[in-house]
């Protein structure tokens, strides 16, 4: 169920890295992600989604 909306939300994988000028495969620093999430437009939306997905991933790892 959760996978469905996630697949729909991620239409352009790697776009956040490209917009933030961070090479694919490298982690986006937490501070940069938080700053980007405060902005508007596509960059802000993508950053907020990344933060949300990060939280979901943490909650799943705690359950195991």
pLDDT at 6: 80
pLDDT at 50: 93
pLDDT at 58: 73
pTM of the full predicted structure? 0.77
pLDDT at 56: 82
**Which residue, among 21, 1, 13, has the nearest Cα to 46 in the 3D structure?**
13
pLDDT at 10: 84
Full pLDDT tens readout for the chain, 64 residues: 556 778 778 888 999 999 999 999 999 999 999 999 999 999 999 999 999 988 887 776 766 6
């Amino acid at each position: 169920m959760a996978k469905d909306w996630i697949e729909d939300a991620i239409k352009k994988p790697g776009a956040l890295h490209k917009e933030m000028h961070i090479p694919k495969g490298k982690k986006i620093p937490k501070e940069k992600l938080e700053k980007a999430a405060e902005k508007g437009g596509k960059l802000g939306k993508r950053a907020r989604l990344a933060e949300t997905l990060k939280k979901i991933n943490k909650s799943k790892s705690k359950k195991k």
